[in-house]
């Protein structure tokens, strides 16, 4: 097994840059996963993991045997690297509790890749800025068994380390599409989806609405809420069902 004991190693420097630079993640089409649990979830959900850096102190432990068993079970080709504890602390936010840091390939996150059931529920996240908030919304979507999360015009990327950390790996378990408002609306309209938006002007109680058909909840940012684009679309297209945008909690 390869070993790295210096923080000046090119791979270590690249990992630190990948954690910090969204542009580099996009250019290289890869990202960093901090933690064994999250790495397991990524592998189980079809993400291609290229490299796993193991903390030196776990190489001869059951943790490492579990890692190898998981990778071998998926018939994946992974480059394992042993990293000194000192260097591992530099690349891992959680240090000893992380056990491993992995490098994986990104998925494409296209709208046309979303697999739908008979009555899908979509969570549309409009203009989210804070990675921690996006991660929290992914946790909520996972708990609510939402079909897919559609991220419109976001100011952060789904592979930001804080998104992965705050989502507790749900970024790997949920279907996620990244697109513009216009693309999201065209997709929802094509699928005859009832659109519910957050609004301070709403008068309809969300408990009184019918969700027994394709449904989308649109959430905006903490600062300004949902963009007027969504309010206008919801009022025009779904006037027969919802007279005004339905009240919901804004979070972004």
Do the domain assignments include residue 246? no
Q: Which residues of the chain have pLDDT under 70?
A: 75-76, 198-205, 235-252
Do the domain assignments include residue 145? yes
68 and 115 housed in the same domain: no
Say what the pTM is.
0.86
pLDDT in tens, 77-95: 889 999 999 999 999 988 7
134 and 225 housed in the same domain: yes
72 and 173 housed in the same domain: no
134 and 231 housed in the same domain: yes
CA atoms within 13 A on the CB side of 97: 4
Residue with tokens 């240090």: 95
Question: How far is Cα 129 from Cα 225, in angstroms, rounded to an integer?
Answer: 12
CATH of the domain at 233: 3.40.1280.10
Residues near 179 by Cβ (< 8 Å), separated by ≥ 6?
A: 110, 111, 150, 151, 152, 187
Q: Where are the beta strands (DSSP E) in 180-223?
A: 194-197, 215-219
Provide the CA 194 distance to its chain's centre, in angstroms: 24
Domain C-terminal end among 105, 133, 156 = 105
Tokens of 16: 């630190």
Do the domain assignments include residue 17? yes
CATH of the domain at 59: 3.30.1330.30
Domain limits for position 135:
111-237
83 and 144 housed in the same domain: no
pLDDT in tens, 124-177: 999 999 999 999 999 999 999 999 999 999 889 999 999 999 999 999 999 999
Instruction: Count CB-CB contacts under 10 A for residue 126.
Output: 25
Rg (CA), the chain: 20
Taking the alpha carbons of 112, 117, 120, 125 in that order, is the dihedral positive or negative? negative
Do the domain assignments include residue 244? no
Number of domains in the chain: 2
């Amino acid at each position: 097994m390869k070993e790295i004991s210096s923080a000046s190693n090119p791979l270590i420097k690249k990992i630190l840059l990948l954690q910090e630079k969204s542009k580099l993640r996009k250019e290289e089409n890869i990202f960093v996963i901090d933690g064994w649990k999250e790495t397991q979830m990524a592998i189980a959900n079809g993400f291609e993991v290229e490299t796993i850096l193991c903390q030196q102190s776990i190489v001869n432990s059951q943790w490492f045997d579990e890692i190898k068993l998981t990778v071998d079970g998926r018939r994946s080709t992974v480059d394992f690297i042993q990293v000194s504890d000192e260097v591992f602390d530099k690349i891992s936010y959680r240090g000893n509790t992380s056990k491993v840091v992995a490098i994986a390939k990104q998925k494409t996150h296209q709208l046309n890749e979303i697999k739908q059931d008979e009555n899908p529920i979509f969570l549309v996240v409009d203009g989210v800025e804070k990675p921690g908030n996006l991660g929290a919304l992914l946790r909520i979507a996972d708990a609510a068994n939402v079909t897919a999360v559609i991220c419109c015009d976001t100011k952060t990327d789904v592979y930001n380390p804080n998104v992965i950390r705050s989502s507790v790996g749900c970024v790997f378990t949920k279907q996620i599409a990244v697109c513009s408002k216009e693309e999201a609306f065209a997709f929802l309209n094509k699928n005859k989806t009832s659109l519910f938006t957050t609004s301070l002007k709403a008068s309809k109680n969300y408990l009184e609405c019918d969700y027994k058909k394709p449904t989308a909840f649109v959430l905006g940012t903490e600062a300004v809420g949902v963009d007027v684009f969504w309010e206008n679309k919801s009022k025009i297209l779904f006037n027969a069902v919802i007279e005004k945008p339905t009240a919901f909690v804004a979070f972004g």
